[in-house]
């Protein structure tokens, strides 16, 4: 196991193994998304209180789970990259940031689309909504720091420090926001789905798994790009480039960029 | 110099930073003037009714304090980075976290402490009741050191960058949110006649946490930025 983990840390090994994994994981996540969409949109009965509009939950809840899960993955892999100088871990961290920010944004958008018919307003300063918004800011800070340092390795290490500080702060921010909210307004809005029916729970859980797999697929693809860019001076990448060039040579005569 | 104890190192750097800053008084004054102006803008923006101002006052004062602290943060490391002193400090045998703690203390004495003196005056202008003003000063005393400590991590990360200023606020402001919530919350409770000790305890806990951890994080960040 550890040996495999160490091998995975080598960019070249990662490049070959991820190419084999992507079709399988991607295919599985596509199938799962299709199945759980069908179950969620057609099979599950309408809610007795919320009617049809609760169905946005099948997107909203899994992406909310993902948004927090990815932040932890990002911080852990950034820490691994910082401590053990594992190159692929750095790439995983920076590839995760954009995906995590997208899921956070998706959560906010679907949440406010659901909130308009249910609560009668696009936005409430509810504890969960607010902490999700702050999570988005934390992601954006991470991305901005990474983008503004030119040297990729240095950028990774600096943003790793930020991610670790952020991960310590996330629970503090979360609980302070909860307390802030209960101080100002009584908990009038509880998303009371304590008794959830099996026909609704199953697509929800399936979708959660599917979203995790989708994240993994996109993560692998983005990490591959990162790895290529970071390793552009190493011999195996240049060999790859030369091989690709020879394959393309007959079709692209003359008008090749650079 | 080689057998100088850590308290001595701390004091030497503190004294140096204070001396340097006192030679350039305008730099100390600017964030304070900014603080006063921002708070003056609010009554002009929302109208002069005492009730509204009293409700807004805790939040307004704390947000202005966050922004004023942000403005002065860069001075912790920036000029030292430009003239190369920072590299010398990195190369000394003393733990970098002690150096940073000294520099952060200097920053707080020059940027945080004056806010404690100015804030009660502004609170009177915003019609905050007397009890609440006392609590305001206590929350600022507990909270502004946290701002300097967390801010030091952000400055350490961005010190080598050309356009670090805006980035710094992007990195640091989300981390300031708990301080804002409990600082303004305590004053709110006080003006409503509610107990405030829970808020103050949490601010104290945050201060202890950031006092112990953030010099280490800032030291790690500084070593990455300056190499």
Nearest CB to A158; choose among B177, B181, B224? B224
Q: How far apart are CA A257 and CA A125, in angstroms?
A: 51
* Cβ–Cβ < 8 Å for B49, B131: no
Answer whether residue A209 is part of any domain: yes
Which of A138, A140, A173 is opposite residue B178, by nearest beta carbon?
A173
Judge whether A68 lies within some domain.
yes
Sketch the domain layout of chain B as residue ranges.
6-225
Distance CA B175, CA B213 (A): 14
Task: Determine the average pLDDT of the residues in B69-74.
Answer: 87
Close Cβ partners of A93 (under 8 Å, ≥ 6 residues apart): A74, A75, A77, A78, A81, A156, A159, A160, A163
pLDDT tens digits for range B87-141: 888 888 888 899 999 999 999 999 899 999 999 999 999 988 888 899 999 999 9
With respect to residue A58, please indicate whether it lies within any of the assigned structural domains. yes
Residue B183 in this model has a pLDDT that exceeds 80: yes
**Among B157, B178, B206, beta carbon nearest to A158:** B157
Task: Please report residues of B whose CB lies closer than 8 A to that of A180.
Answer: 181, 185
Contacts with B178 from chain A: Cβ below 8 Å? 169, 172-173, 176
> Which residues of chain A are at the B interface, by a Cβ-Cβ cutoff of 8 Å?
134, 137-138, 140-141, 144-145, 148-149, 154, 157-158, 161-162, 164-166, 168-169, 172-173, 176-177, 179-180, 183
Residues in chain A with pLDDT values less than 50: 184-190, 193, 254-258
Chain A residue whose CA is closest to B203: A176
pTM of the model: 0.85
Give the model confidence (pLDDT) of B192-211 as tens digits.
888 888 889 999 999 999 99
What is the total count of domains within chain A? 1
Substitution target from B63, B96, B178, B205 for chain A, most A beta carbons within 10 A: B178
Distance (Å, whole) CA A159 – CA A92: 13
Residue-level pLDDT at A250: 58
Per-residue pLDDT at A187: 42
Task: Measure the CA–CA gap between A251 and A245, rounded to whole angstroms.
Answer: 10
Inter-CA distances, B80 with A205, B18, B90, B215, B226, Å = 54, 13, 11, 17, 11
Query: What's the pLDDT score for residue A183?
Result: 52
**Alpha helices by DSSP H, A185-234:** 198-230
Q: For every residue of B36-58, which 3-state class applies, written as one string? A: HHHHHHHHHHHCCCHHHHHHHHH
Determine the pLDDT at residue A31: 93
Question: Residue A249's pLDDT is what?
Answer: 62
- pLDDT at B222 exceeding the cut of 70: yes
In a domain, A256, yes or no: no
Is A132 a domain residue?
Answer: yes
The answer for residues whose C-beta is within 8 angstroms of residue A200's C-beta and 6 or more apart is A40, A44, A47, A54, A57
ipTM of the complex: 0.84
Tell me the nearest-neighbour CA distance from A171 into chain B, angstroms.
10
Is A10 part of a structural domain of the chain? no
Q: Is A1 domain-assigned?
A: no
Contacts of residue B22, Cβ cutoff 8 Å, sequence gap at least 6: B28
Rounded distance between C-alpha atoms, residue B124 and residue A55, angstroms: 52
Domain that holds residue A60: 19-44+54-187+198-242
Report pLDDT for B3: 54
CA-CA distance, B121 to A136, in Å (whole number)?
36
Shortest Cα–Cα distance, A147 to chain B (Å):
10
């Amino acid at each position: 196991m550890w040996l495999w983990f160490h091998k995975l840390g080598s960019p070249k090994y990662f490049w070959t193994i991820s190419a084999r994994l992507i079709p399988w994981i991607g295919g599985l996540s596509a199938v799962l998304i299709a199945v759980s969409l069908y179950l969620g949109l057609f099979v599950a009965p309408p809610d007795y209180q919320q009617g049809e509009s609760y169905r946005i939950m099948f997107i909203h809840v899994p992406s909310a789970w993902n948004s927090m899960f990815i932040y932890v993955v990002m911080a852990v892999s950034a820490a691994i990259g910082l401590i053990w100088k594992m190159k692929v871990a750095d790439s995983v961290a920076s590839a995760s940031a954009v995906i995590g920010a997208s899921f956070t944004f998706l959560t906010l958008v679907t949440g406010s689309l659901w909130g308009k018919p249910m609560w009668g307003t696009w936005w409430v300063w509810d504890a969960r909504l607010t902490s999700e918004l702050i999570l988005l800011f934390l992601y954006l800070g991470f991305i901005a720091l990474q983008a503004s340092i030119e040297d990729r390795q240095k950028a990774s290490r600096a943003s790793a420090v930020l991610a670790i500080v952020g991960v310590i702060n996330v629970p503090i921010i979360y609980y302070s926001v909860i307390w802030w909210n209960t101080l100002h307004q009584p908990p009038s809005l509880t998303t009371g789905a304590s008794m959830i029916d099996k026909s609704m729970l199953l697509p929800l859980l399936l979708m959660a798994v599917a979203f995790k797999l989708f994240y993994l697929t996109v993560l692998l693809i983005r990490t591959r790009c990162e790895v290529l860019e970071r390793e552009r001076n190493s011999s195996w990448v240049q060999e790859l480039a030369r091989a690709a060039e020879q394959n393309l040579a007959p079709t692209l005569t003359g008008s090749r960029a650079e | 110099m080689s057998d100088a104890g850590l308290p001595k190192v701390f004091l030497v750097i503190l004294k140096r930073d204070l001396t340097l800053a006192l030679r350039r008084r305008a730099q100390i004054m600017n964030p304070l003037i900014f603080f006063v102006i921002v708070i003056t803008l609010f009554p002009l923006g929302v109208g002069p009714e005492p009730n509204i101002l009293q409700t807004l006052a805790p939040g307004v004062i704390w947000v202005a304090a966050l922004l004023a602290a942000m403005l002065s943060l860069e001075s912790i490391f920036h000029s030292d980075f430009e003239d190369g002193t920072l590299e010398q400090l990195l190369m000394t045998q003393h733990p970098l976290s002690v150096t940073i703690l000294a520099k952060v203390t200097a920053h707080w004495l020059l940027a945080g402490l004056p806010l404690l003196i100015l804030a009660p005056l502004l609170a009177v202008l915003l019609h905050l009741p007397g009890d609440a003003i006392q609590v305001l000063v206590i929350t600022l005393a507990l909270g502004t050191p946290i701002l300097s400590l967390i801010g030091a991590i952000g400055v350490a990360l961005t010190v080598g960058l050309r356009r670090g200023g805006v980035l710094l606020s992007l990195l640091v402001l989300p981390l300031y949110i708990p301080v804002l919530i409990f600082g303004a919350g305590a004053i709110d409770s006080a003006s409503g006649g509610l107990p405030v000790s829970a808020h103050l305890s949490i601010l104290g806990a945050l201060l202890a946490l950031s006092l112990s951890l953030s010099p280490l994080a800032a030291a790690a960040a500084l070593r990455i930025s300056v190499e």
